[in-house]
Amino acid sequence: MAKNNLKEKKVTVILPDALLKKATLASGEGITQTLRRGLELVAAKHAYRKLLQLKGQFDLKLNLNELRRD
């Protein structure tokens, strides 16, 4: 079973060897961890884009001077 009771899926992918070597070298991890991190980055980028679409749609009424006091 996966960590944190999350379901896992085993997949077979065909990747360019040079890209895989470059990515695993850059991450310093094995293939699975490198691919997992890449998928996490893609998901994070998607979430970030969705947040950017909300820019200017909320009036938070924050006082920056009060926030900076900490």
Residue spans per domain, the chain: 3-68
Digits of tens for pLDDT over the chain (70 positions)?
Answer: 456 778 999 999 999 999 999 999 999 999 999 999 999 999 999 988 888 888 777 777 788 888 888 6
What are the structure tokens assigned to 69, written together?
């006091």
Q: How far is the C-alpha of 62 from the C-alpha of 65, rounded, in Å?
A: 9
What is the spatial distance between Cα 10 and Cα 47, in angstroms, rounded to a whole number? 25
Query: What pLDDT, on the 0 to 100 scale, is given for residue 64?
Result: 83
Provide the pLDDT for residue 5: 74
